[in-house]
Structure 1
Amino acid sequence: MKKVATALALITLCFISCKKEVKTEIPTTADSLAVKTEEPLIEETVDSAAQMKAWQEYATPGNPHKMMADEVGTWNCDMTFWSEANGKPEKATSVAVIRMILGGRYQESDYKGTMMGQPFEGKSTLAYNNASQEYTTTFIDNMGTGMMVAMGKYDESKKSMELKGEMVNPVNGKKTAYREVYTIVDPKTRKMEMYDVKNGSEYKSMEIVMTKK
């Protein structure tokens, strides 16, 4: 891991040292004189030791990754769906197998079950970014061709994580906001709630209660 961090730091140093000044030509026409040019962003100089330390901290798993590792194992998932606010709930079940990958830096989950009478498969990833200090989750499945991506933070007092993202509605092709709330109920129980927006109002569209085997 230290070798990887060192290599990344050296690449960054080479990139900074090799940058050349780019001369900006002064517009000569009347129309071009009205165009304002942005001043180049000047980055603060950081010495090599500080850069290497920053990369090492960025690459080293911490307590949030240990929390994700606590979920490694097989989980039974009781799934409930709603197509609209106060609508009739639809039920489904699946089994999730959770593992840590890439040296304990990311969590990967594979879901298999039955949904709407059809075989269901899904895959999710969860990451904690040491630099931004926030979580990112992704999800793909065999019920579509898109990827859901949401970001957010964990609230220790509530034992829950709120993540927000956007998805494309396949009916009208427009982006719509969604929100996930992931709660650690107890060591062997997790609850994931998803909220969609319909007709300008947010409603609960899905709930998954996960029980560890």
Structure 2
Amino acid sequence: MWMYPGAEPTYSEGTATAEMILGGRYLKMVNKGMVMGMPMEGWSLECYDNGKMEFTNIWIDNMGTGMAISKGKWNEADNTITYEGTMYDPIEKKEMPFTSLAKKLDDNNSLFEMYMEYQGQKFKSLEIKYSR
């Protein structure tokens, strides 16, 4: 995790469990680990909206009370869903845009990256490597 552009990353390890729910229509993922020395639990709910022909992702965690909601498209050429979304920044008191990438590396590994903006500069704020 990077707090701002040019910052040194902080590292941590955690676990994630994923399951298809509601007749296989939604992917529920529960992530657990430590963030800045505190226990973190976050839930992701993801689906493909057949009507809109796009993915929707909702993220909630125990570090705050807001939701990060994003919508994305699948790029078959690089096995990536690129999401665009917003989350509320309680310090700045405004919605903050973000971009995230969910990339399938192979049947056992995937990569998640998040990019945010700080003082007009876009930067990578998060990278999670999943493996089973």
TM-score range, shorter chain: over 0.9
Counterpart CA distance in 1 for 2:73 and 2:57 is: 11
Report the identity percentage.
Answer: 35
Secondary structure (helix, strand or coil) at the match of 1:151 reads: strand
Whether 2:62 is the aligned partner of 1:142: answer yes
1:119 has 2:39 as partner = yes
The CA distance in 2 between the partners of 1:172 and 1:162, in whole Å, is 25
Q: Which residue of 2 aligns with 1:35?
A: none
Name the CA distance, whole Å, in 2 between partners of 1:91 and 1:154: 28
SS of 2:77's equivalent in the other structure is coil
Question: What does the per-residue CA deviation read over 1:35-58, in whole Å, with 9 as the maximum and x for residues that have no partner?
Answer: xxxxxxxxxxxxxxxxxxxxxxxx
1:179 corresponding residue in structure 2 = 99
Residue aligned with 1:92, SS: coil
Tell me the residue number matched to 1:74: none
2:125 is aligned with 1:205: yes
Secondary structure of the structure 2 residue equivalent to 1:157: helix
Aligned to 1:25: none
5+ long unaligned stretches in structure 1: 1-80
What whole-Å deviation, never above 9, does each CA across 1:77-134 have from its counterpart, x for those lacking one? xxxx001112111111110110010000100011111221111111101100111110
Matched, 1:165 2:85: yes
CA distance in 1, matches of 2:18, 2:94: 32
Check the 8 A contact 1:123/1:140 in 2, yes or no: yes
Give distance in 2, aligned partners of 1:114 and 1:198. Answer: 24
**Corresponding residue number in structure 2 for 1:65:** none
1:197: Cα distance to partner? 0.7
Q: Which moved more, 1:113-122 or 1:159-168?
A: 113-122
Q: Which amino acid aligns with 1:132?
A: K
2:106 matches 1:194: no
Contact 1:195–1:205 (CA<8 Å) still a contact in 2?
yes
Question: TM-score, normalising length from structure 1?
Answer: 0.61
Q: Where does 1:1-213 land on structure 2 (aligned, <5 Å)? A: 81-212=1-132
Structure 2: tracts of 5 or more residues without a match: none
- Return the structure number with greater strand share: 2
Query: Given that residues 134 and 153 in structure 1 are in contact (C-alpha distance below 8 angstroms), is that contact kept between their aligned partners in structure 2?
Result: yes
- Measure the CA separation in 2 of the matches of 1:175 and 1:115: 22
Q: 1:162 touches 1:180 (CA, 8 Å); kept in 2?
A: yes
Compare the two structures and name the one with the higher helix fraction.
Answer: 1
Which secondary structure does the structure 1 equivalent of 2:78 belong to?
coil
List per-residue Cα deviations over 1:146-205 (Å, max 9, x = no partner): 000000100000110100001111211111110001110111110000000111121100
